[in-house]
């Protein structure tokens, strides 16, 4: 991890982020629509898109969205996606991305940092608990008919 850095993702990183999200979700998304949404999101000052980069090659990715929620009377930031290439697992990259995010948020007024994680990722559940997240909620979802 000697030359590993974390930086903000930019327009120039669209293809890397697209590939990471497709791998994370194990599906191919419409590339054009993805690009439009990505550009929209990175322009939002309450959204954070980070890349872990080794040399000049991105190897990990984190996105986090902040929302002003009435039931908290404050901002809540939620990690939307966290992906590290399999070959880089166990090298502290996920921890580094979360630590970098927390550093970016440290001077902000917010209530909590959250993450939702699907049942099919038990190794991720363990990771999130190890970095300090607690299991405090259930998340229920309903697909549009």
DSSP symbols for 44-62: -TTEEEEEEEETTEEEEEE
- What is the average pLDDT across 108-119? 93
Average pLDDT of the segment spanning 115-134: 92
CATH number of this structure's domain 4-130, picked from the four choices 3.40.630.30, 1.20.1280.50, 3.30.1340.10, 3.40.190.10: 3.40.630.30
Residue 1, pLDDT score? 54
Average pLDDT over residues 100-110: 97
Q: Residue 142 has what pLDDT?
A: 94
Query: Looking at residue 30, what is its pLDDT?
Result: 98
pLDDT of residue 61: 98
| CB-based contact 69:75 (threshold 8 Å) | yes
Does 60 have pLDDT greater than 90? Answer: yes
In degrees, rounded to 5, the angle at the alpha carbon of residue 77 between the alpha carbons of residues 76 and 82 is 155
Q: Can you give the residue ranges of every domain in the chain?
A: 4-130
| H or E segment to which residue 93 belongs | helix 93-105
Question: Which helix (H) or strand (E) segment is 81 a member of?
Answer: strand 74-84
Alpha carbons 95 and 101: distance in angstroms, whole number: 10
């Amino acid at each position: 991890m000697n030359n590993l850095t974390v930086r903000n993702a930019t327009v120039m990183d669209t293809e890397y982020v697209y590939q990471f999200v497709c791998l994370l979700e194990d599906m191919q998304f419409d590339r054009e629509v993805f690009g439009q949404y990505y550009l929209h999101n990175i322009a939002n000052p309450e959204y954070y898109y980070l890349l872990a980069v080794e040399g000049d090659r991105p190897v990990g990715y984190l996105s986090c969205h902040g929302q002003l929620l009435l039931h908290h009377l404050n901002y809540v930031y939620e990690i939307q996606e966290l992906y590290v290439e399999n070959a880089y697992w166990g090298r502290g990259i996920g921890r580094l991305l979360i630590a970098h995010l927390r550093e970016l948020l440290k001077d902000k007024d917010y209530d909590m940092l959250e993450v939702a994680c699907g049942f099919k990722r038990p190794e991720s559940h363990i990771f999130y608990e190890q970095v300090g997240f607690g299991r405090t909620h259930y998340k229920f979802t309903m697909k549009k008919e």
